[in-house]
Chains A and B, each alone.
Chain A
Amino acid sequence: ETGVTQTPRHLVMGMTNKKSLKCEQHLGHNAMYWYKQSAKKPLELMFVYSLEERVENNSVPSRFSPECPNSSHLFLHLHTLQPEDSALYLCASSQDTVRETQYFGPGTRLLVL
């Protein structure tokens, strides 16, 4: 089992709600990532944090707002989402952002009504 946990595992929200996804890694890594996995599409990288600094924003709409308060925790704040944002959101971590392998959490299954 990986040392990356995500909560909640399932989330249903309306388009006017505000919610947050949480990711925690227990591996002592310095980099964390958010990915989106939609049906019939490859995984898409959303954000990359290295040493708590955002190093990549992959053209993600502003209704998704990441936060990395320390190297062990990563949040994804959600507000005014659209139904097409329904997907599995995966968090990952790695020792660094260059050569090290990424380890994934179990994901949060999000449904936007």
Chain B
Amino acid sequence: AQTVTQSQPEMSVQEAETVTLSCTYDTSESDYYLFWYKQPPSRQMILVIRQEAYKQQNATENRFSVNFQKAAKSFSLKISDSQLGDAAMYFCAYRSVSGAQKLVFGQGTRLTINP
């Protein structure tokens, strides 16, 4: 079974600086998807970024980018120019494209932005 591990329960960063959230996963599959979701205090889970495993190029969405290392099974999220609105729980998630179709989530990282 696939597992997702986020080893940082909490992180903090100064406003306008850069922070990297870690995620590792375990799978025997070669084709899959990886996601970062953000859950602000209002509780709405929002998609931040998505990566297809067959693509070597790292996904980017404005200030958010990932470092996808397939061989190492690592999928970190970098947030540049951190803003107060980035404060939230961040969840890394894995999704297979065969068999079980569910999202497997990590435990989450709580990100605090210091003004």
Contact = CB atoms under 8 A, between A and B. Distances in A.
Interface residues of A, number: 26
A1 B33 CA distance: 23
A42, A56, A101, A102 pick with most chain B CB within 10 angstroms: A42
Contacts, number: 51
Nearest to B96: A98
Interface of B: 4, 33, 35, 37, 42-47, 50, 91, 97, 100-108
25 contacts: A2-B46, A33-B102, A40-B107, A41-B107, A42-B91, A42-B104, A43-B105, A45-B103, A48-B101, A48-B102, A56-B102, A88-B43, A90-B45, A92-B45, A98-B97, A99-B33, A99-B97, A102-B47, A103-B47, A104-B37, A104-B45, A105-B44, A107-B43, A107-B44, A109-B43
